Structures are given as C-alpha cells and as structure tokens.
Amino acid sequence: MIPEIGHFALIMALVVSVVLTVLPLLGATFSNERWVALAKPAARMQLLFMLLAYGCLTYAFITFDFSVRYVASTSHSSLPLLYRISGVWGAHEGSLLLWALILSLWMGAVTVFSRSIPRVMLARVLGVMGFVAVGFLLFLLVTSNPFERLIPAPADGRSLNPLLQDPGLAIHPPMLYMGYVGFSVAFAFAVAAMLGGKLDAAWTRWVRPWTNIAWMFLTLGIALGSWWAYYELGWGGWWFWDPVENASLMPWLVGTALIHSLAVSEKRGAFKAWTVLLAVFAFSLSLLGTFLVRSGVLTSVHAFASDPGRGLFILLFLATVVGLSLTLYAFRADRFKSDVSFQLFSRETGLLLNNVILVVMTATVLLGTLYPLVLDALGVGKLSVGPPYFNSVMVPLGIPLVIVMGLGVLLRWKRDSISRLGTDLALLVIIAVGVGLLFSLLLHYDWEGYDWEGMAAIGLIMAVWIAVTTLFWVWKQKRTASVWGAALAHAGMAIMIIGISLTSLYSSEKDIRLSAGQQYQLAGYDFQFQGVKKVSDVSYDAYQGIVDISRNGQPVSHLEPQKRVYRVQTMPMTEAGIDAGLFRDLFVALGEPLEGDAWSLRVYHKPFIRWIWLGAILMAVGGILAAGDRRYRLKVEGRSHA
Amino acid sequence: MLKYFVPLGAFLLLVALLAVGLKLDPREVPSPFIGKPAPAIEAVQLDAAAGTFSSTSLKGKVWLLNVWASWCGECQREHPVLTELVQGQNLTAVGLNYKDAASDANRWLAQFGNPFTSIVADPQGKVGLDWGVYGTPETFIIDQQGIIRYKHIGPMSQKAVTEKILPLLAELRNGGKP
Amino acid sequence: MTPVRKKRLWLILALVLGVGVSAALVLQAFNQNMMFYYSPKDIKAGQAPANHDFRVGGLVVAGTVKRDPSSLDVHFDVTDLTETVTVKYTGILPDLFREGQGIIARGRLLPDGVVEAAEVLAKHDENYMPPEVADSLPHKPAEEAQ
C-alpha cells in the first residue's frame, strides 16, 4: 500500500509541476495576477508531494519491502539502518528520485527566501524550475519508476553494491546533487531575466547567494567523491579523470567562473550577457553530466547500470531545456549590453581573464571526455584519452589562472595603474617567490629530504602568492562577510595547490611481495608484514593483513588492510589500511595470496594529500560565508518593476 | 546579433553528436558464433543427482541456452520474459549457471521459479568461454542441426521475443521456411 | 582610433592570442595522449604501434594466469576468441580480475609479441564487460587506426 501512495504522490507532483510551469509563466507574460500568485503555493505543494513520495520509498527500504523491485535489487535483510536509508539512492531509480526531491527542496527554499523578489520575477523563476521538474518527473515515471512492484516478492534482496556500503559514499550523492541541482536556481533566474528582458544589480544580488550555496555543495560533493575513491577503491589516487568525475568537474569550473562574473555584473553592471550565458552553461553541464552517467555512452570505471532508452530521454530533455534557453539567449542577449567601460588595467580585466581561463579549462575537459565518443560516432576507431592529457593541459592553464587570481584582488575596479600598485606588487611578488622557494628548500634539506623539484617550488610559490595577495586584500578592505568568504575560498585554493603539487611529485608507491615477518622500506618508513588472519562481519568475510610501521626503530602505526568478499554479491573488495596525517598518509592495500604465507601488498607514502580535501573544505566554508552577506538580505526598495 | 547564436549552434552540434553516440549500443554485437555449430557441452548439472548433461541428447530439437547467475540482477529482470517464452512455446530450455555457487543458484530458482529443462553448472565459466559468453544474461537459440541461429546479449525484452525470437522459432519448426 | 578603442583592441588581441596558445597546447597534449584500442586480432595482424602505449582488451583465457613464485610478475593470455595475445604485468591485479573475465590492459608491445602492461583494469560491473571489449570480440572489420 505504501509504495502505491508513493507512486501516486509522484504523479501528483508531476501534475502540480505542470500547473506550476504553465500558469505562472503565462501569467507573467499576460499580466494575470492570479496566475502569477499561484507560483508560490504550487511550488510548496509540489515539495510536499515529493517529500511524501521520497518518504514512502525510504519506508519501503527501512521495512525491507522486497515486493518493490527497486528495493529487492538494492537492499538486503542484512543491511544496517544507515545503508537502508542511503540505499534509497544506491541505484538509478532512487538517485533520480533524490535528484527530483532536491530540485523541489531548492524550489521550496526559493519560496521562503524570496521576500525581496518581485512577484513576477518569482513566478518566472519557479515556473522555469517547475519545467525542469516536469522533465525529471516524467523521466522517473516513464522509464525508471522506483515504486514498481515485483510479484511474487523474493524472500530477500540482491543487496547494495559493496562499494556503496560506506559512510563517505552514503553522503556523496546528496552533496553532489545539491550542487548540480542548485545551479538550476541561477539558471532559472537567468531565464527569468531573459524573459523579462531586464537585468540589474538587484538581480545579481538575488542570484549570488544561490550560486554560492550550490557551488559550496558541489565543491564538497566532488571532494567527498575524491576522498572516497582514495580510500575505498584501494587505488590510492585522488583524481582519475574518469568521465564521471569530469562530469562533476565541468559544472564546478563554470560555476566558479559564474561566481566571479556575477561579481562584475553586480559591482559594475558589465558582463551581463556573459553572466546569463554562464548560468545557463553551469546547469546545462550538470544535465550533461547526468546524461553521460546515466546513458552509458561513455565507458567509465563507475558501474552504473546504463540504458540507451533512458539516455535518449535525458538527451531529449537536455536538448529541450538547453536548446530553448540558448534560443532565448540568441534573441534577448543584446538587451543586456553593458553600459559601462573599463580600462585595460583593472579588476574587470582580471576577472575576464579568470573567466576565459576557466571556460577554456572546461572546454578541454569536455573535449577529452567526449572525443572518444566523437571518433566512435564517426567510426574512426576506439580510443581513450588518458590522465596525462588532462594533467599536461590543466597545469599550464592553472598557472596563469593563479597569477591572475592574485593580481585580480589587488586591482581596483574600472581603472588602475601600475604606479599605484608598484611597490606593493613588487613586495608581494618577492615575498611569494622567496617564501615559496624557502619552503621547497626546507622540504629538501631540512625536513623530509625530498629531491628538489622545480615544479614543487612553482607550486609552493603559487600557493604563497595566493595567500599573501589574499591577506593583503583583506587587510586593505572593509571586511564584510563576502570579503571574508572570498578570502577563505582563495586560501582554500592555496592549500589545495600545495596538496596537489606535493602529493603528485613526492608520493611513492610500490607493489611488493612479503611473507609474514618480512619488511619493506618506503620513504623512510619500515612496513613490517605480520601475516594475515580471517575475520568476518555481518555482510562479508575478509582476510585481514597486519602491518606494523616504524621509522628509525620507533613504532609509527599499526594498519589492518582487508580483502573482503561480500557474501550476497560474492564480490571482492579491497579495504585499504590508512594512517592519516596532516603531512603524510601511509597507505597499505592487500593484494592477493601468493605461495606459502606470502601476499602481494601495495604500499604508499602520500605526503600532504589531506591538504587537497582541507582546501576544498575551506573553499566551501568561504562559499557559504559569502552567501550570508548582509546586503543580499536587504529588501530592495521600489519593487514596482518586473 | 549573430554572435549570440554561437552558443546555440555549438550546443546543437553537441546534441547531434550525443544522439549518434546513443545509437552505438555497445550490446548490439553480431556474434561470430551465429551460423556455426554450437560448441558441445559435456558438464555436470546443477542438480548433481541428474548426472552429466550432454548437448548431443538435444540433436534434432530446437533448443534455447540461457546464461544466468544468481548474482546477476539483469537475469532477475528478464526472468518473467524468459519463463513466459519457454512455457508458451513449450521450448527445451537449458540453463547455463555461470560462475555461481550451487546453493545460491538453487535458492534463486526456488524464489523466482525454474523454467529450465536442465541446468548445466559452470562454476569456473569454462563452458561460457567455449560459447564466447561476455557476461550474464545471454541467450542462444540452437536449431535441429545444432547450429546457433540467434544470440541475445543482455536481458531479453518482450520486444526481442516478439520481433526476433518468435518468428525464428516458427521458421525453425516449419523446417526452415518462414 | 580613440585610446579606449585601442585598449580594447589590445585586450581582444591578447585574448585571442591566449586562447590560440592554449588551443595549440591542448591539441598537442591531445595527440600525444590518445590511446587507441586494439583487439588481439589487430595485434596479431601487426596493427598495434611498436613504440606507443595502446590498450588491448579481451577475455582472460582460463588456465593461463601464471604468477612467478618469487616476484610479482604475472603472465596471462587475452583472447577475442579469434586470436590470443600474452600480457605481462608486474604488480597487483584488480579485485575483479578473474579467468574468463573481460579486462582491458594498457601498455606497449614488446618485440616478441608480448604486451607489457602498465595497468590492468577490470570493470566494476559484473553483468557487463567494457563496451570496447564486447565490441572487439566478434571482430568488426574496417576498424582502421591511422
């Protein structure tokens, strides 16, 4: 009975979304006040139905209702409560339901925090989001109904993919979706502005906090995914340039560009058409990501059941949403011409360069991700574009980006001169180069004895450059919440750059063969293998290796990496043993049993890897801080215009 | 102004590309085995009491080989379609229990029903390798002369059954005339 | 030309130059890092490049996985059911590597016709193998790689 209620709620949500799309948008065009007024209650009612539907599916999971096909294929009677709740988004149908629910949550949030927004604008924003909701709800109901029954009901389910039975991954998809779907708010505002034909500073003040919050979630979601891949896949890497990862990186890059271009639009009234285009792109790339992951057109290490029929639906939907908004853009963009000019040497130019570099980065990722598909489509051959491509492109693009990042905050709006900045700039450059070099030499001579690497020195100089310019900027500024937010986000970037450069350059890894009692030295640490014992848990049996790590005779850590076999799926899984630290991780993964009591093991020494995720967390905190700036909450006077 | 149409044009190009990409269905692959004699099977049955299974015993019959495993979710999805096909056509159906544990397989059959006439146990996947099995589920149709006439990769859909399998069965039973 | 226009021209020139340079960079990196996929049959036919990484895929032939007892060297045969090539790898194989399973190896061709793999991948998904492997098994003709 409960699943039927859920199914019904989903249908009702679709009906309400259709109403929400049609009436307020028409009302806004034909000045029908009553239709415009419908937007808010309709959006809230839609949220109510979505909550009901989602609650019903969660209930089916918690109560082990295996007569629901989706529950039977993703749950099992041995799953603990946490993974029954997170199992709801453990596969295709449920994650789409979560996607749709999050969209409704964003719509609900818009209705709550909309006091300063003119009603016609609000009606358009909610109408556009309602349109997106119609697409996703249709997709759910037509191709991927999570409430479909399985009669007769099996005695037990097939269980959740063991890879997903992990707290890190349990919260990764909701975070990522909050980010993806969050860009729909900026998108809806952009479309609403195009429909209304007007884009002013007030508009940017409505959009900025929403964009920041969506960006924050996306940052956290990507970081969580990277962290999960690091410890759960047992590969010890933190980024693989896998199509699924690229799909989430592209909206992030464009979203970052959007945040900066919005700043120009707000402060200077420039870049308006460009801002609108970026808002459309950020959400389009989120949809494209969903398409790539769900349609199976690309080979990915991520195992999502893929289905061309579903892919076709998403493609049509993508074409409709993005095609319509870009057509609208083609006809309306010339209304957003900038009425101001700026000098070559100004903050506007800095932010323009930031945007150009970020967009070029997005394009290179898109090219590398889609090119194999292009060749396949043309029948030329099958190929893949490996991580070296992305690395060799992103590094040279990243360096100018970082230089501009530091310069941009120093420059004044509209016009600036080298003579004004002269001494300060020279000082900051000297500090950055000096301190960066000093650190790189310290790493070499005094502390860890790493080889001196030019790239490490460059990475450190870049990081210090961002840090000192940010500090200088904060010192000279009126310190509002958005200044603090931007400063934190930039500082996060500095920390992440340190993590990325030092991890990439100084990691050591080795596949080794050890018998019980043997030891191996890596990066000054002695890994002593004590043998393997068998252990069991509720859902798996495992071999557990015992590895003691010492340095210069002093014990450092005791790790117990596991090789698990999950009983229900008979799927083997490597659970690495990690000794985490601020300056280095020690990582041991169990390979396979060899002759006698020997095993193959993979050992890593990963310096500064935590700084990557630490930086991401700082950026996210910066994002939310900036979103809370007082000026976004001020009521806009004179709401007469639409 | 014309420049504002650039994003739209670029996007339309992308959509066209993705549409072509979608058509390239990785599962739509002609098997090199079609039209060739089916590899002989001499193997233990899942029901150990039933002894060994030999494919020579099926000579002169039209039969179906379905590769499945209890760990395979898609098999569960195609199961109703398969059962209906086998029972509706009164077809000899051999199951190839691929890389599976006997206890799991039996539990699965008890749960979902057993449409098979006999089931070959292939815990190591050796028979599967002979037949060029890529994964589960897969379904083969073999004619009276022991020639593989059809292969379906992935879960069988009702559409594949009505459009491909039923006409083929009718043709085979009619002595090769459509 | 007014000074404003002149400056704008410079800006545009700089941008075009920047984007041009990065496009050149991207394309160069692209050409160096494209990895074509070859089936064992292609390799036997001599199509695989001798001094460039490529990917090979197929089913692991049962009974051919041989580990060196004293090191982490491992040999196994990969087949597309037409031809078979031997792959040599040093290190730990992925969790889902099994006999009969579809895998993809990245590496280069040694003079003796053995592929020395730097990386071996097995798909997470148990139900299906990587599309490239599935495609190459019943070999498609005219898959020329330049």
CATH number of domain containing B159: 3.40.30.10
> Residue B46 corresponds to which tokens in the numbers above?
């899942």
Contact A54, A177 (CB under 8 A): no
CB contact under 8 A, A299 and C144: no
Mutate to test the interface with C, among A338, A384, A595 (most CBs of C within 10 A): A384
Q: Chain B residues with CB inside 8 Å of C76's CB?
A: none
State the pLDDT at residue B50: 81
Amino acid occupying residue B52: T
What is the distance in angstroms between the Cα of C128 and the nearest Cα belonging to chain B? 5
Please tell me which residue, C69 or A489, carries the higher pLDDT value. Answer: A489
A91/A302 Cα distance (integer angstroms): 12
Q: Is C135 touching B (CB cutoff 8 A)?
A: yes
State the pLDDT at residue A444: 86
Residue B92, in any domain of the structure: yes
State the pLDDT at residue B29: 42
Nearby residues of C55 by Cβ (< 8 Å), 6 or more positions away: A384, C35, C36, C37, C38, C104, C105, C106, C132
Please tell me which residue, A426 or B2, carries the higher pLDDT value. Answer: A426
Beta pairing, strands A571-575 & B138-142: unpaired
Confidence label for A642 from pLDDT (cuts 50, 70 and 90): very low
A261/A152 Cα distance (integer angstroms): 56
How many domains in chain B? 1
Q: Is A109 touching B (CB cutoff 8 A)?
A: no
> Phi and psi at residue A136, in whole multiples of 5°?
-70, -35
CB contact under 8 A, A297 and B4: no
Cα A579 to Cα A29, A177, A584, A588, C73, distances in angstroms: 61, 30, 8, 9, 28
Helices and strands counted in chain B (H then E): 6, 7
State the pLDDT at residue A306: 47
CB contact under 8 A, A360 and C22: yes
Contact A50, A100 (CB under 8 A): yes
From the candidate CATH numbers 3.40.640.10, 3.40.309.10, 3.40.50.300, 2.40.50.140, the one assigned to the domain spanning C37-136 = 2.40.50.140
B70/B129 Cα distance (integer angstroms): 19
Amino acid occupying residue A114: S
Q: Is B16 touching A (CB cutoff 8 A)?
A: no
CB contact under 8 A, A329 and B11: no
Nearest residue of B to residue A156, measured between CA atoms: B111
State the pLDDT at residue A300: 41
DSSP H helical ranges for A477-528? 481-506
Any bridge partners for residue A603, and if so which? Answer: A510, A588
Confidence label for C132 from pLDDT (cuts 50, 70 and 90): very low
> Which residue matches tokens 């420059």?
A411
Condensed to tens digits (0 to 9), the pLDDT of residues A332-361 reads 988 887 777 777 788 998 999 999 999 999
State the pLDDT at residue A308: 58
Whether residue A303 has pLDDT greater than 50: no
Please tell me which residue, A547 or A539, carries the higher pLDDT value. Answer: A547
Please tell me which residue, A154 or A617, carries the higher pLDDT value. Answer: A617
DSSP string, A313-357: HHHHHHHHHHHHHHHHHHHHGGGG-------SSSHHHHHHHHHHH
Contacts across the A-C interface (CB distance below 8 Å): 116
Instruction: Output the CA torsion A41→A47→A50→A51 (10° steps).
Output: -120
Nearby residues of A86 by Cβ (< 8 Å), 6 or more positions away: A164, A169, A170, A171
> Residue B67 corresponds to which tokens in the numbers above?
């590769």
List subunits contacting chain C, requiring 3 or more Cβ pairs under 8 Å.
Answer: A, B
Confidence label for A476 from pLDDT (cuts 50, 70 and 90): confident
A208/A627 Cα distance (integer angstroms): 7
Contacts across the B-C interface (CB distance below 8 Å): 57
Condensed to tens digits (0 to 9), the pLDDT of residues C17-41 reads 888 888 888 788 777 777 788 888 8
Contact B142, B92 (CB under 8 A): no
Beta strands in A499-611 (DSSP E): 508-514, 519-522, 525-536, 540-551, 554-559, 562-566, 571-575, 577-579, 584-593, 599-607
Residues of chain A numbered 294-323 and touching chain B (CB < 8 Å): 295-297, 305, 308, 311-312, 315, 318-319, 322-323
Any bridge partners for residue A511, and if so which? Answer: A602
State the pLDDT at residue B177: 52
CB contact under 8 A, C127 and B153: no
> Residue A282 corresponds to which tokens in the numbers above?
């950020």
Whether residue C86 has pLDDT greater than 90: yes
Average pLDDT over residues B54-61: 86
- Residue B122 sits in which domain range? 33-173
> Residue A516 corresponds to which tokens in the numbers above?
């019980």
Average pLDDT over residues A553-579: 85
Cα A294 to Cα A67, A297, A311, B92, C77, distances in angstroms: 25, 8, 6, 37, 33
Q: Which of A72, A281, A330 sits opposite B8 (nearest CB)?
A: A330
A164/A205 Cα distance (integer angstroms): 39
Q: Chain A residues with CB inside 8 Å of B4's CB?
A: 273, 329-331, 333-334
State the pLDDT at residue C127: 41
Q: Which of B72, B128, B129 sits opposite C127 (nearest CB)?
A: B72
State the pLDDT at residue C33: 76
Nearest residue of C to residue B125, measured between CA atoms: C100
Half-sphere exposure of B132 (CA within 13 A, CB side): 27
Rounded (to 5) percent helix, strand, coil in chain A: 65, 10, 25
Whether residue A424 has pLDDT greater than 60: yes
Q: Chain B residues with CB inside 8 Å of C81's CB?
A: 32, 132
A60/A6 Cα distance (integer angstroms): 10
Query: Taking the domains of chain C in order of start, what are their residue ranges?
Result: 1-34, 37-136
Q: In 3D, which of B37, B44, B41 has the Cα closest to residue B55?
A: B41
State the pLDDT at residue A399: 94
Dihedral sign, CA of B53, B54, B59, B65?
positive
Q: Chain C residues with CB inside 8 Å of A349's CB?
A: 11
Residue B68, in any domain of the structure: yes
Mutate to test the interface with B, among C12, C81, C84, C98 (most CBs of B within 10 A): C81
Residues of chain B numbered 26-55 and touching chain A (CB < 8 Å): 26
Residue B1, in any domain of the structure: no
ipTM above 0.95, yes or no: no
Contact A311, A292 (CB under 8 A): no
> Residue A100 corresponds to which tokens in the numbers above?
């749709």
Residue A109 CA, distance from chain mean position: 20
Q: Is the bond leading into B137 cis (omega within 30 degrees of zero)?
A: yes
CB contact under 8 A, B26 and C82: no
A79/B40 Cα distance (integer angstroms): 42
Q: Chain A residues with CB inside 8 Å of B74's CB?
A: 305
Residue B41, in any domain of the structure: yes
CB contact under 8 A, C134 and B134: yes
Condensed to tens digits (0 to 9), the pLDDT of residues A498-533 reads 999 999 999 998 889 999 999 999 988 999 999 999
Q: Chain B residues with CB inside 8 Å of C137's CB?
A: 29, 32, 132, 134
Whether residue A546 has pLDDT greater than 80: yes
Q: Chain B residues with CB inside 8 Å of A333's CB?
A: 1, 4
Mutate to test the interface with B, among A373, A566, A567 (most CBs of B within 10 A): A373
Q: Chain C residues with CB inside 8 Å of B153's CB?
A: 134
Sort B176 into a burial class: Cβ within 10 Å, 0-12 / 13-18 / 19+: exposed
Q: Is B21 touching A (CB cutoff 8 A)?
A: yes
Beta pairing, strands B63-68 & B92-98: parallel
Average pLDDT over residues A162-189: 88
State the pLDDT at residue A419: 81
Lowest mean pLDDT across A345-349, A575-579, B18-22: B18-22
Q: Is C104 touching B (CB cutoff 8 A)?
A: no
Predicted structure pTM score: 0.83
Whether residue A547 has pLDDT greater than 90: yes
Residue B11, in any domain of the structure: no
What is the rounded average pLDDT for all residues in chain B? 82
B113/C76 Cα distance (integer angstroms): 39
Residues of chain C numbered 39-78 and touching chain B (CB < 8 Å): 59, 61-62
A91/A80 Cα distance (integer angstroms): 17
Q: Chain B residues with CB inside 8 Å of C40's CB?
A: none
Confidence label for C76 from pLDDT (cuts 50, 70 and 90): very high
Mutate to test the interface with C, among A271, A341, A366, A389 (most CBs of C within 10 A): A389
Dihedral sign, CA of B162, B165, B168, B174?
negative
Confidence label for B134 from pLDDT (cuts 50, 70 and 90): low
Whether residue A579 has pLDDT greater than 80: yes
> Phi and psi at residue A323, in whole multiples of 5°?
-60, -45
Q: Is A337 touching B (CB cutoff 8 A)?
A: no
What is the distance in angstroms between the Cα of B85 and the nearest Cα belonging to chain C? 22
Helices and strands counted in chain A (H then E): 18, 11
Tell me if residue C45 falls in helix, strand or coil.
coil
A59/A6 Cα distance (integer angstroms): 10
